[in-house]
Amino acid sequence: MKANAENQESESKMDGLKWVVVFALLAAAVVGNYLYSDVSVVLRSSAVVALVVIAGIFAALTAKGKSVITFARESRMEVRKVVWPTRQEATQTTFIVLAVTVVMALALWGIDGIMVRLVRLVTGA
């Protein structure tokens, strides 16, 4: 029990160090891209992509990174379970939404017109 707590504490300290490395790598990518603006765009963009990938790997090794990866995997599994509508169903639903929107817009326009006339009648303007 005590060894587990010490292990978690050391992991938490290492996570902090890993996040420092992640932000240092990202800062190096931004600063390096700015400082070496005279170097070829292909080389600079390749270096930035490499630094971002390395930073992503370090971030994935942290507790938060592992939970994000787990969440992404579970989300992907849930998306596979979704029963997506057919093209015909999607088209019909879209037309229904458009028709209801037009009807509601006309109804609100009519109500607004009636209310404007009533206010003019009451205020005499």
pLDDT at res. 15: 87
Domain range for 52 is: 1-82
Query: Using one digit for the tens of pLDDT, what is the confidence trace for 46-71?
Result: 999 999 999 999 999 999 999 999 99
Together in a domain, 73 and 54: yes
The rounded distance, in Å, linking the Cα atoms of 96 and 101 is 8
Together in a domain, 75 and 103: no
Together in a domain, 15 and 27: yes
Together in a domain, 72 and 11: yes
Together in a domain, 24 and 46: yes
The rounded distance, in Å, linking the Cα atoms of 40 and 48 is 12
Count of domains observed in the chain? 2
The rounded distance, in Å, linking the Cα atoms of 39 and 75 is 41
Together in a domain, 61 and 8: yes
Token pair belonging to 13: 């300290």
Together in a domain, 60 and 119: no
Together in a domain, 54 and 115: no
Together in a domain, 70 and 20: yes
Together in a domain, 8 and 29: yes
Together in a domain, 9 and 29: yes
Burial class (CB in 10 A: 0-12, 13-18, 19+), 60: middle
**pLDDT band (50, 70, 90) for residue 2:** low
